[in-house]
Amino acid sequence: MSNPDPSAVLLIRLAGPLQSWGDRSTFNRRETRPEPTKSGIVGLLAAAAGRPRHAPLDDLAGLALGIRIDQPGSILRDYHTVSDYRGQPLLSAAVTVKGRQKPTSPAKHSHITQRFYLQDAVFLAVVQGPQGLINTLEHAITHPAFPLALGRRSCAPAQPLCLGQRTGPLEDALRAEPWQAAPAVRKRWGRQNGDAAHIDLPATLDDPAGDEVRDDVPLSFAPQARTFTTRRIRHTYLQAPTGLTPHPARPQTTGGHDPFALLGW
């Protein structure tokens, strides 16, 4: 009998001007979570692999997922008003027996919609699964069949996106990978913390014994049959290397007043 396919982990850096990871959106209000959802990660992997929306997702949804928040970013609200350029009343979400949208009643000529994004955020996502599948996904991310997006089609990812494979447990990979925040953010933090060698970063990991339940595991992305199930997650903090080198002209500090901070050192 042959040995089962061993487990492997793949690191994905999720960074860009805008990201949006919704899990509880309504027609006129599209929310975003403060970190990527599993459905968003599975969708990115499926797009990279060239899978159509009706394709099975069992193997991708079964991957273990860990998310490290390297740069939380901030919320951006995009406010829209919608109207028909012909001056006609807008259609409602209700449909007739023939599948045609009904007009709004009373007639409505404008509609307000709001969409929320994360701006200037950086996340490290780690997926763990069979070696063969991880090899396929690594190649797919670096040679994507369909355009990739950070949760929403308009949110293009920055490079590098794929950081390659690592050995060992998923959580160890999240601990070992250097801090991925933007250079300006790392430099500012280093001035305030004496270019410390490590930083504590929040993380969310799949855990059957976790104390929070998320309804974001996709069973199907088919347009007429989108379905999801739940997973349990655990929140924690992981100490990761900063990659910063102490300035040679001044000793490393551990906090408190820094007389050179205003000079931009």
> Are residues 140 and 153 both part of a single domain?
yes
- Residue 63 domain-assigned? yes
- Residue 104 domain-assigned? no
Buried b (16+ CB within 10 A) or exposed e, 89-128: eeeeeeeeeeeeeeeeeeeeeeeeeebbbbebbbbbbbbb
**Which residues lie across from 148 on neighbouring strands?**
none
pTM of the model: 0.83
> Are residues 229 and 246 both part of a single domain?
no
Q: What is the DSSP letter of 2?
A: P
- Residue 207 domain-assigned? yes
Q: In this predicted model, which residue has the larger pLDDT, 2 or 132?
A: 132
> Are residues 36 and 59 both part of a single domain?
yes
Residue ranges making up the domain that contains 218: 7-77+116-168+200-238
| Count: domains in the chain | 2
Q: Please name the residue ranges forming H helices in 49-130.
A: 58-61
Q: What local confidence, expressed as pLDDT, does residue 151 receive?
A: 94
Cα 224 → chain centroid: 24
Q: How confident is the model over 69-105, as pLDDT tens digits?
A: 999 999 999 888 888 888 888 888 788 888 888 888 8
Q: How confident is the model over 4-57, as pLDDT tens digits?
A: 567 999 999 999 999 999 877 666 788 899 999 999 999 999 999 999 999 999
Which of 53-67, 128-142, 207-221, 247-261 has the lowest average pLDDT? 247-261
- Residue 163 domain-assigned? yes
> Are residues 204 and 164 both part of a single domain?
yes
